Homo-oligomer: A and B are copies of this chain.
């Protein structure tokens, strides 16, 4: 048997300034010598459904791609990952919304929070987009960024000093922590199966995710890729937040009209945002507007 963790020479990926993701464990941990990936656990479970026996590596790949293409997700649940993560609380609050996971978080009731805060890089403070209400991609001007970071630095020092002062004066940890800002780091063990992880990664590696959270999602993706390479490849080919594209009913209509007339036709919709989404998708298909 082969220890799958050997596929990942560096089990810890640093994230942001003080954060990290560490791959702690995988199920299956020991895999057949002739496979050397954990993909086999997916087909092992799938073949119980189909009443099939062992097959070649290539047939395994075909089956995994078939499962992924047709959203037969239950065999993916048979692979499980456990991570140790350190991350800012505002990221943790986004990630905890994914419910089909097991979590043990550092407790600010039992323990004193550590003096660890996230300070963005001056090049990573972003300008609020007018069109994308969720965030923005452009950099803010350097002087504003520096001022903001100077404030942040001072405020974190001050709040942490006050926090420990009042702990010394006897106030409960559970109350004293309320003065600490949302860029405080927390840590947790986080355990999830591959089906739910792909769902998570689809949303959190996406360009619409907050960049700071995406950094953690990308770290996780880089850690699992050598463990289940065939499944990750299939996910990249077939998931509509990755290489695939979901074409709506209205867009299918427009495509049909386009093919007849050779120029991109508008959607049958009075929704401007939906029209704009279609133009982007049409360009990805090689359709060019007149």
* A56 interface residue (CB < 8 Å to B): no
Output the least CB separation between A134 and chain B (Å): 5
The answer for the CA separation of A162 and B279 in the assembled complex, in Å, is 39
Choose the segment among A7-15, A75-83, A221-229 that binds chain B (4+ C-beta atoms closer than 8 Å).
A75-83
How many A residues face the partner with a CB closer than 8 A?
A: 121
* A123 interface residue (CB < 8 Å to B): no
The answer for the CA separation of A104 and B169 in the assembled complex, in Å, is 38
* A66 interface residue (CB < 8 Å to B): yes
The answer for the CA separation of A210 and B177 in the assembled complex, in Å, is 13
The answer for the CA separation of A82 and B30 in the assembled complex, in Å, is 13
Contact of A247 among B48, B178, B180, B245 (CB under 8 A): B245
Within 8 A of B (CB), among A13-28: 25-28
Cβ contact within 8 Å between B110 and A50:
yes
* A131 interface residue (CB < 8 Å to B): no
- Contact of A252 with B248 at beta-carbon distance under 8 Å, contacts A80-B191, A82-B27, A152-B179 already known: no
Q: What 4 pairs across the A-B complex have the smallest Cβ distances?
A: A243-B249, A51-B111, A77-B102, A29-B29
